[in-house]
Amino acid sequence: MKTRLTIAVDRPTGRIHREIYGHFAEHLGRCVYEGLWVGEESSIPNVQGIRRDVLEALKKLNVPVLRWPGGCFADEYHWKDGVGPRESRRRTINTHWGGVTETNEFGTHEFMLLCELLGCEPYISGNVGSGTVQEMQEWIEYITLESGSSMADWRRANGREKPWRLKYFGVGNENWGCGGNMRAEYYADVYRRYQTYVRHYGDNRVFRIACGANAGDYHWTETLMREAGRYMDGLSLHYYTVPGTWMHKGPATGFGEREWFATLNKALVMDELIRKHAAIMDKYDPEKRVALVVDEWGTWYDPEPGTNPAFLYQQNTMRDALVAGLTLHVFHRHCDRVRMANLAQVANVLQSVVLTDGPKMVLTPTYHVFEMFKEHQGAERLDCAVEATACGPAEFPVPRVDASASRSADGRIHLSICHADLEDSVDLEVVLDGAPGACPCVTGRVLTGPAPDAHNTFEAPETVIPVPLEEIQLDKGSFRVRLPAMSVAVVEIKVT
Ligand code: AHR
């Protein structure tokens, strides 16, 4: 199979916001406890309680932003339970996720430390469903006010002299569901009230994010933009890729060809959702001041057999790598409106980048996509046209080749390519439109596996890892490269 791809190297079409490469950590299953936090006394190597292997792995992704503490957990989280001496913190029940005891060992200070160690922006989701306005207001004050109030004094007494910088704050999570079962009309008013007290202390500016729609609930977006659009900086959107139905989602491994294409096809629904939500937002906000924040996305399968079903632990395969690549490309295309996205979730829950088992850790195929794509973060998007056919069954068509290109500040061009075909390799001719006589210098890496459900295990952690792309043939103003079936590749192009 042959395909031509053209990059308009001198035609930037917007900036790919770093924050679309964001992550999400909820108090759910083994995400926070074990996945990120093991405690200072643990035999697992750690930095002030945060496990070192995961920390080092995440640092390599240049994580721009981390969302916490939920998810559904956020709307029953009372932040005061999670500060002060750890041994005397209140113990509560995580009713949403398995009824397990929440020790509150990981709270505000631990989360802010994690963000500092990662060098990322914290994104905190406040409790609207079961929390008060005062509680929310005091949380912001505790975190960001230098001095002069009991909240600031309390933070200092708890060991943090200087205030933290808190850029992103979510006013509730899924308030149409687990966050209070509200109607859009009601939440719009509740949002207006709560956000009033999300204050900017000192020079800290909080970017206020309203709870947005569940997938295709356009009435929610319409109502929120009409009634509260002027009070928000961002509006969220949640969409999960479920190959089957919510009752029977399908397994994470051991799936067939139909499920491969069904999953990729459903991942691409993200494009339609963003287009339609963005069109509503354009009506009320033609200047595009309000960001669309896709703060939960990813695959959701049946839990792994033998694990606690409430913990949402699932394996991660080449199929997830393709979902990640295709979805990130969708975000690139909508970079005028989509300015943050958070993959659910960072460790041991849903489409994770790392999986852990006691002291062991493994990087998933999704991790490798985020690592390979990281040069796109903050880069200028370049127009990229692919002459490609669709593959897959008629009910679940998927573009055989999907690509996105960007140019970083130093002029390097990065081209990421998703190749969805299960059988054949593809010969790609990449034309650099705008650099006709130039001789490009091209290097690349490719991620593929021996089967659609190829994945990494604790015993075989390198089944799916990126390898150098061989046989790149250079020409004047173009190059050719062969991609194997079911692969994700990134090439770096230097045009001289
Ligand atoms: O990510 C798992 C859950 O999915 C989150 O807690 C919730 O916001 C969503 O429904």
pLDDT, averaged across the chain:
97
Q: What is the dihedral of CA 328, 329, 331, 333, to 10 degrees?
A: 170
Please list the residues that pair with 344 across neighbouring strands: 24
Q: What is the pLDDT of residue 368?
A: 98
Q: Rg of the chain over CA atoms, in angstroms?
A: 22
- 459-488 CB burial, b ≥16 within 10 A, e <16: eeeebbebeebeebeeeebbbbbebbbbbb
Atom of ligand 1 nearest to the CA of 298: 1
Extract the tokens encoding 138.
């005091």
pLDDT in tens, 382-421: 999 999 799 999 999 999 999 999 999 999 999 999 999 9
Which residue in 138, 141, 296, 371 is the catalytic one?
Answer: 296
pLDDT of residue 78: 98
| Average pLDDT estimate for 272-294 | 98
Give the DSSP letter string of 183-219: -HHHHHHHHHHHHHT----TT---EEEEEEEETT-HH
Give the pLDDT of residue 442: 93
Q: How far, in Å, is the centroid of ligand 1 from the Cα of 468?
A: 36
Q: Are residues 370 and 387 in the same domain?
A: no
CA of 349 to the centre of ligand 1 (A): 10
- For residue 325, the model assigns a pLDDT of 98
Among 336, 353, 379, where does a domain finish? 379
**Do both 416 and 333 map to the same domain?**
no
Note whether 287 and 353 are same-domain residues: yes
CATH of residue 267:
3.20.20.80
Residue 186's pLDDT is what?
A: 98
Q: How far apart are CA 346 and CA 352, in angstroms?
A: 5
CA of 263 to the centre of ligand 1 (A): 19
Is 423 known to be catalytic?
no
Determine what percent of the chain is predicted with pLDDT higher than 90. 97
Looking at the whole model, is its pTM more than 0.95? yes
Say which CATH number the domain at 394 has: 2.60.40.1180
Domain that holds residue 412: 3-9+382-495
Do 184 and 321 fall within a single domain? Answer: yes
Q: What is the pLDDT of residue 388?
A: 76
The ligand 1 atom at the shortest distance from the C-alpha of residue 177 is 10
Residue by residue, DSSP assigns 66-101 as EEES-SGGGGG--GGGGSS-GGGSPPEEETTTTTEE
Above 90 in pLDDT, residue 439? no
What average pLDDT score do residues 284-293 get? 98
Give the pLDDT mean for 136-140: 98
44 & 190 share domain:
yes
Q: How far is the CA of 98 from the centre of ligand 1 (A)?
A: 13
**Cα 309 to ligand 1 centre (Å):** 14
Q: Is 353 left (phi over 0), alpha (psi -120 to 50) or beta?
A: alpha
Q: State yes or no: pLDDT of 177 exceeds 90.
A: yes
How much is the pLDDT for 489? Answer: 98
Which residue owns the Cα nearest ligand 1 atom 6? 71
**Residue 436 confidence (pLDDT) above 90:** no
Question: What's CA 274's distance to the chain center, in Å?
Answer: 15
Given 316, 344, 379, which residue is the final one in a domain? 379
Which residues have any ligand 1 atom within 6 Å of their CB? 26, 70-72, 173-174, 296, 344-345, 350
The CA distance from 234 to 171, in Å, is 10
Domain end point (choices 325, 344, 379) = 379
Return the residue whose CA atom lies nearest to atom 8 of ligand 1. Answer: 71
Ligand 1 atom showing the smallest separation from residue 70 Cα:
6
**Which whole number is the average pLDDT over 95-105?**
97
Residues 285 and 154 in one domain: yes
Do 440 and 359 share a structural domain? Answer: no
User: Given a cut of 90, is residue 496 above it in pLDDT?
Assistant: no
pLDDT at 274 over 90: yes
Question: Kind of pairing, strands 207-214 and 100-102?
Answer: unpaired
Please state, in angstroms and rounded to a whole number, the distance separating the CA atoms of residues 388 and 383.
16
Residues 334 and 412 in one domain: no
Residues 399 and 320 placed together within one structural domain of the fold: no
Do residue 47 and residue 133 come from a single domain? yes
| Counted domains in the chain | 2
How do residues 305-335 score in pLDDT, each as one tens digit?
A: 999 999 999 999 999 999 999 999 999 999 9
Residue 470 is among the residues annotated as catalytic for this protein: no
Q: Which of 76, 102, 110, 174 is catalytic?
A: 174
pLDDT at position 437 is 74
d(CA 31, CA 111): 13
Structure tokens at 458: 């604790």
Q: What is the mean pLDDT of residues 23-44?
A: 98
Q: What is the pLDDT of residue 1?
A: 87
- Cis before 71? omega within 30: yes
Residues 168 and 245 in one domain: yes
Residue from 238, 294, 345, 351 to probe ligand 1 pocket by mutation (most atoms less than 8 Å from CB): 238
DSSP string, 230-299: GG-SEEEEEEEE-SS-SSS---SSS--HHHHHHHHHHHTHHHHHHHHHHHHHHHH-TT--SEEEEEEEEE
Q: What percent of the chain has pLDDT over 70?
A: 100
Cα gap 215→242, rounded to integer Å:
12
What is the average per-residue pLDDT within 346-359?
A: 98
475 pLDDT more than 80: yes
pLDDT value at position 47? Answer: 98
Q: Is the pLDDT of residue 438 over 80?
A: no
208 in the same domain as 119: yes
